[in-house]
Amino acid sequence: MGKLSKQTISAQIGNKKCEKTGAVNMPLYFSTAYRHTDIGVGTGYDYTRTANPTRDVLEEALAELEDGQFGFATSSGMSATGLVFKRFKTGDHIISLQDLYGGTFRYFGTLERQYKIEFSYWNGKDISDLAGFLKANTKAIFIETPTNPLMQEVDIREVAEFASANHLLLIVDNTFYTPILQQPLNLGADIVIHSATKYLGGHNDILAGAVIVRNEELGAFYAAALNESGEVLSPFDSWLLIRGLKTLPLRMREHEKNAKRVVQFLREHPLIKEVKYPGQGGMISFYIEDVALISPLLRNVELFTFAESLGGVESLITYPATQTHADIPRELRESYGLTDELLRISVGIEDADDLVNDLKSALDLASKEAVRS
């Protein structure tokens, strides 16, 4: 059989993996320890931190979906980032995007203070500017695309060509687009990261991360590092993530279809100054006309839930200034456009008309409340 589509790969995860029973649904293996029949004689499993049958199936699927060779399932998105950065040491220099998830920015600050790993921040707009950030100790480039929360797309292939020419690793956070819309390894990236809590899981019921690589040396390094640190995904969460991945292509189509309808509404609304949408996916950011409208808007939405996170079947609305990006100093975040007027939406899979009507009603009520106050 030839190369399978992402939809077929997703739907088939776990099927025909249990030869003994023929189970279609991948069994959930809770066991911590595994029996040996003699010295050096076993099943290939010893201790669940090192390997677990349920997690193994998940990791194989993650690698296949990203067109990689080695997949690693971790206990959170930030633990996935932490695993990747075990590759670097004191004195190394990393070029990062300026517009990135606030938790990643906070973690990079910790690496700078405690481990003296140096970071420079690029605005992501002009590839030629990257040369100005190069140092003798530069080891890697870290990007999210589209960026969080300003939804700026970065040309992975161009950055990969620059990284390769300068012997740097390229690390790409693919959380927003998922392997359904974008496969960074095929564009030249070396390492892909996911907060699998988001679209990969898709149901707001697990905390998980993923790292995928193609290079054998990187694969061996991260396998050893993950076994050493123990930040692996639990068997039950691995099973839940397998279940979520089975519908990922279907969900991404609905997220995107709904997002385009919401974008159309927002762009036509008089209270919205600007909409940031990269043209695909389910994530939208927008600037509202007056910061005084934000609190009443968030109080009056009914279908949208005012909450952090993204990528679930339920639509969420987030205020980056006080939630996901609160750890970025105000002067810094405002310098590149992350102002107090910005809101971020994760569009779910509800009916698009219902979502638009919810936003319309909330904006109308917010406008009336602002006038009264």
Residues labelled as active-site residues: 49, 101, 173, 198
| Residue 200: CA count within 13 A, CB half-sphere | 34
- At 369, the amino acid letter reads E
| CA–CA gap between residue 319 and residue 294 (Å, rounded) | 9
The secondary structure element, H or E, covering residue 137 is none
Decide: 145 and 177 in contact? Cβ < 8 Å. Answer: yes
Provide Rg for the chain, Cα atoms: 22
| CA–CA gap between residue 304 and residue 86 (Å, rounded) | 38
| CA–CA gap between residue 293 and residue 371 (Å, rounded) | 10
Decide: 276 and 284 in contact? Cβ < 8 Å. Answer: yes
| CA–CA gap between residue 330 and residue 319 (Å, rounded) | 14
Decide: 159 and 179 in contact? Cβ < 8 Å. Answer: no
Looking at the DSSP bridge assignments, the partners of residue 287 are 274, 342
Where are the extended beta strands (E) located within the chain?
70-74, 93-97, 118-122, 138-144, 169-173, 191-194, 209-213, 272-276, 283-288, 305-306, 316-318, 342-346
Say which residue the tokens 């699927």 belong to: 61
Percent of residues in the chain assigned helix, strand, coil, to nearest 5: 40, 15, 45
> DSSP string covering 207-230, please?
--EEEEE--HHHHHHHHHHHHHH-
| CA–CA gap between residue 356 and residue 257 (Å, rounded) | 13
Q: Which two tokens stand for residue 313?
A: 């079947």
Looking at the DSSP bridge assignments, the partners of residue 172 are 143, 192
Q: Which two tokens stand for residue 292?
A: 């005084």
Say which residue the tokens 């009443």 belong to: 296
| CA–CA gap between residue 247 and residue 162 (Å, rounded) | 35
